[in-house]
Every structure is written in C-alpha cells, then in structure tokens.
Structure 1
Amino acid sequence: MLDHPLPDIDAWALLFSNNSLPVLRVTKRRLDEMREDIERVDTRELAHLILQDPIMTVRVLAFIQPMRGRALQHDITTIASAVLMAGMNPFFRRFEDLPTVEGMLKGEDPHALLGVLQVIRRAQRAADYAQDWAIWRHDINMEEVRIAALLHDLTEILVWCFAPKLGLDIRAQQLAQPTMRSVDAQTQTIGFTFQDIQPELCRIWHLPDLLLRLLDDANAANPRVQNVALAVRLARHSSHGWEDPALPDDYRDIGHLLNITPEAVRQRLGLEPMPAREAEDD
C-alpha cells in the first residue's frame, strides 16, 4: 500500500491504471452467482448490478471501448449496450477472479474501509439523484447522467483503495478543521486535487468523450452537467444528515434545474410531506 504522495499526476494515473481495480464484494459475489447460471442472466439485471458499483462501472466501460471498432460512429455510453457488444460469455470470462475493495483493505486501519465505503455510498446516492432528475427532465439518455454522477468522485475512491493512509490523512485534516475545503486538504496531502487526476485516468481508459464532458464541472452551463454536479453536491452535503448549512442553496439550485420550488425539491427528497393531490398522483 502506498503511504506517501507521488510526484505528479502521471504517476498517480499510472498507479491506478497499472493495477487491477477492486470491486465491491457484493458485486463479485453476484457476478459469480450469475456466471454459474449464465443462460438465465438478464442483461438489465446485470447492468443494474454494475451501475451500483463505481469501479465495476469504469472497468466495463474501459473494457468495451477498444472493441467498438470503426463500425460504430458513437461511443458506447450505457452498460447494457456494453454487455451486449461484448457478449455474455466473453464478458463473464473477462471479469473472473476480481479483487475486492474489502479484501484489498483487509489488515489496514479499519477506518480506511469505512472511509471508502462511505464515499462509494455517497456516489451511489449521487447517481440515484442524478437519474431521478434526468427522468424528470426527460433527458434523452438518463443512464449517461447516472454514470457521470457515479464516477464523479472515482479518484477519491481509488486513493482510499491504493493509499488508505493518505485518505485517512485527508479525512483527519477536515475533521480537525471543519471549515477547510476538501480540495485544500487534498492538495496539502497529495499535492493535487482528485479532480486534477481524474481527466488523465479517463484518457488512459479511453472513456467516452460524452462522459468526460458530463464529468467536467467547468461545463456548468450545460443542464446535463448541472444535473450531475448538483447530484454530487447534494449527496456530499447530506452525507452526515440534513442539517448542513449548504443544503438550502442546493435546494434552490436544484429547483432552478427542475423548474420547481425549493420546497418541492425537499418534498421529492422525502424531507417534507407531499401535498395530498401530488401524493395521490405519484
């Protein structure tokens, strides 16, 4: 396990790209079960499983991109399409004997495993929010938005997996100084922010250009990018409860995106009761 910062972004990207990325234990277990009865595997069920696991999702996307060939004019940006293109048997052969996050961090400080599982849970919640709002907005492909939200903090997850001591150091700084911005803690500990490293990883894995645009908060004028960024923000600010002082701004901005009031946003999140008629309609 790495216990010191690396000298540059390329070194971080190589660390992650040259090693087999671990998936959640539950992902590996379910894939092994499906492999035993491959003839009865439902593509949608398999895609749903993959889309709960950020690292498995990026592994599948990285696996499929070189297979596209020149026949396809568009990138593969959905997991079900990736599985269909690979073929069920080649897919399951490729993803045998996967390492797991839990196995990788066995013997490390138990707070490291807790830390990475918290970030993964936050990513799952961000993906759920992003998908819900994409459906509300009649997005042409809500799964692309879901994947972008799920992968937004991928580098943070990988730092916890491969350099748990540094992940704990970043967490300790923020606990000691609650007003410290997360990007400042990252820079002080590893010399870069997680978002500095992520574009290079995406380039190495040949992830679709569309996903790169959705992952880039600099494209904030795009409503689909706003959808992703706001979902990530809400998941982060609510990760320890619904009392964070930044949440009212989140409700306001989400309301602008969805063209509803902040109160209606809170109702959609289950924080306030639905009006009787709206509750009946749902």
Structure 2
Amino acid sequence: MLAQPLPDLAAWSQYLTGQPIPVLLDTAEELSLLAEVEARHGTVDAHLIDDAVGDDPLMTLQVLTHVSRHRTDRQITDVDTVTAAVVLMGIGPFFQTFSPPLVLDDHLEAHPRAVAEIRRLIRRAWCAARLVTEFALLHTDGHASALQKAALLHGHANILLWCHAPVLAQAVRDRCEQDPAQDSAHHERAVLNIELRALEHQLARDWGLPATLRRLTDPDDARSQILLQPQRRLLELALMLADRLDREGTQATPTLDELDELSTLLTLSTPSVQRLIDNTLA
C-alpha cells in the first residue's frame, strides 16, 4: 500500500497501472460459478459472462485494460464491452486469465473503511450508468453502450486510490469534509500533488482504453466537444444527478434548469423527464 504521495501525474499513472485491480466479492463468486458450469457443460457464452460481471466497474476495467494491452495488429476496432472482449479472447482463455480474481474485501482486509467508500463510489457509478442508458435510448443514440460504460468507469482513479493508497485517499476525504468551501481538486493537489480527474484521463490514455470512452469524457478533446456534444452533455447530467443523490439522498431532485435541458435533449416534457428519472431510480 502506498503511504506517501508521488511527485506528479506520470508517476501516479505508472504506479496505478502496475497494480492489480481487485473485483467485488459478488463478481468473484459469479465468475467461480460460471467457470464451474463451463468446465462441466461447456455452455457458458460471452453474454452470460457480461450479465454476471459487467456491472462491476473494477472487473470491467480489468477486462478492458487486459484486452488493450494484448491488442494485435489485426485488431482494427476498439473493444469497449465485456461481451466483445470475451468473444475476442474466447471462453476458456477468459477464465484462465481472470480466475481466481483478487477480491476487494481480501485485498483491503485491514482497511474496512476503504471497502465501504469504494462500494459507495460504485453505487454512485451504477446510478449514473442507469440514468445515462435511459437518456441515450430515448435519444436513439448509437453510443448508448459507450455512455453506459463511461458512466460506470467514471471515478475509477478515485476507486483505485482507495484500493492502493487508502491512507492518502482518507486524507483527501478528511480535508474535503473539514473545508468544504474549497473544491475537491484543491484538496487533492494538497495531499496527492495531482488532481484525480487529470489522473483518470492519464490512466485511460496509458491503459489504451477505447477511444470512444475517452472522447466522451476528456476535457481536452476539443473536437469531441463538438461532435459528441449531446452525448457528453447527457453523460454530464447523469453524473451530476448521481452525485447529488449520493450526497443528499433520495430527496435530491433535478433542478428546473436540468429538467429543461433534458427536456430539450430528449424531446420530452419536463414532467415526463422527471417521471423517467423517478422510474429509473425506483
């Protein structure tokens, strides 16, 4: 576990990309069951694996980074889903590569508060992923799958910080709670020498995550800000709503401006947008 901050963005990215990525206990159990079914009956397919583990952002990150690192010259398109990755790898090699996985609870056995914080961050990601998927489907958007994965992986730098430097992650959290007038980036710089948002984009580039996922979130990608403007904005709104729900609980609601903007983007009335959000999160 890292106990002292690293000097810069490059050092942080090099450190974290070299660490194992743990997975949720439920994911590990599902993988074990599927591996047993495949060994006995040979009936597991890529969709079954995606259904079992695709909602775990840590497992999704592990699969996408593995496929990126082992990309061949013949692979001309990005792999941006667990299903596509399993098809590319094959069922047997998938289980050989990812079984048995490192389980989050075992990895952080001495840091239960870090486990709790990671689970909170993952619940927020699930919420954003559900919202943006519904937004994208109503928008008749071909990027729906990429938007869902971008929301699911949002915040992975923070999650990995809690995984591999929980003392530093807690120090950032404590500063944010003690001085909420300052934005989180200020406290991140004070403790870590970097901002987590910048680290997230650096990790995505260094890992070679799918280009569409990077374009949907990279603040420096001016071209995508134009070409993917509605998609990026739908993702931003979903993330904002999920963050507010995380902070304020079920009483949190979209602002009137957010409802109006979503109404325009989705060509729905504002009451219909509110019902869509309520039904999605019910």
Q: What TM-score comes out, normalization by structure 2 length? A: 0.88
Alignment partners' CA distance in 1, 2:68 and 2:195: 27
Pair 1:18–1:66, CA change in 2 (3 A): closer
Read off the aligned partner of 1:223 and give its amino acid letter. Answer: P
2:120 to 109, 112, 118: 118
Pair 1:128–1:88, CA change in 2 (3 A): same
Read off the aligned partner of 1:41 and give its amino acid letter. Answer: V
Higher deviation after alignment, 55-64 or 251-260: 251-260
Pair 1:216–1:262, CA change in 2 (3 A): farther
Read off the aligned partner of 1:169 and give its amino acid letter. Answer: A
Read off the aligned partner of 1:106 and give its amino acid letter. Answer: E
Q: Gaps spanning 5+ residues in structure 2: where?
A: none
Pair 1:60–1:252, CA change in 2 (3 A): same
Alignment partners' CA distance in 2, 1:12 and 1:233: 26
Alignment partners' CA distance in 1, 2:52 and 2:230: 27
Read off the aligned partner of 2:233 and give its amino acid letter. Answer: Q
Alignment partners' CA distance in 2, 1:9 and 1:116: 22
Determine if the alignment matches structure 1 residue 83 to structure 2 residue 86.
Answer: yes
Pair 1:266–1:102, CA change in 2 (3 A): same
Alignment partners' CA distance in 1, 2:51 and 2:182: 36
Read off the aligned partner of 1:151 and give its amino acid letter. Answer: L
Higher deviation after alignment, 8-17 or 258-267: 258-267
Higher deviation after alignment, 237-246 or 58-67: 237-246
Alpha-carbon RMSD across the aligned residues, in angstroms, is 2.2
Read off the aligned partner of 2:264 and give its amino acid letter. Answer: H
Read off the aligned partner of 1:77 and give its amino acid letter. Answer: D
Tell me the equivalent position of 2:104. 101
Identity within the alignment, %: 28
Alignment partners' CA distance in 2, 1:247 and 1:167: 31
Read off the aligned partner of 1:266 and give its amino acid letter. Answer: Q
Tell me the equivalent position of 1:267. 275
Number of residue pairs matched by the alignment? 271
Alignment partners' CA distance in 2, 1:246 and 1:165: 34
Alignment partners' CA distance in 2, 1:120 and 1:22: 13
Pair 1:228–1:33, CA change in 2 (3 A): same
Pair 1:248–1:153, CA change in 2 (3 A): farther
SS state of the match for residue 273, structure 2? helix
Determine if the alignment matches structure 1 residue 184 to structure 2 residue 194.
Answer: no
Pair 1:194–1:72, CA change in 2 (3 A): same
Alignment partners' CA distance in 1, 2:181 and 2:138: 34
Alignment partners' CA distance in 2, 1:186 and 1:267: 37
Pair 1:132–1:271, CA change in 2 (3 A): closer
Pair 1:230–1:208, CA change in 2 (3 A): same
Alignment partners' CA distance in 2, 1:209 and 1:71: 17
Is this contact kept in 2: 1:51–1:57, CA < 8 A? Answer: yes
Alignment partners' CA distance in 2, 1:185 and 1:12: 16
2:64 to 48, 61, 69: 61
SS state of the match for residue 246, structure 2? coil
Tell me the equivalent position of 2:28. 28
**Per-residue deviation at 1:259?**
2.6
Read off the aligned partner of 1:182 and give its amino acid letter. Answer: S
Read off the aligned partner of 1:137 and give its amino acid letter. Answer: H
**Per-residue deviation at 1:8?**
0.8
SS state of the match for residue 75, structure 1? coil
Alignment partners' CA distance in 1, 2:256 and 2:4: 38
**Per-residue deviation at 1:242?**
4.2
Alignment partners' CA distance in 1, 2:271 and 2:175: 34
Is this contact kept in 2: 1:130–1:231, CA < 8 A? Answer: yes
Tell me the equivalent position of 2:237. 230
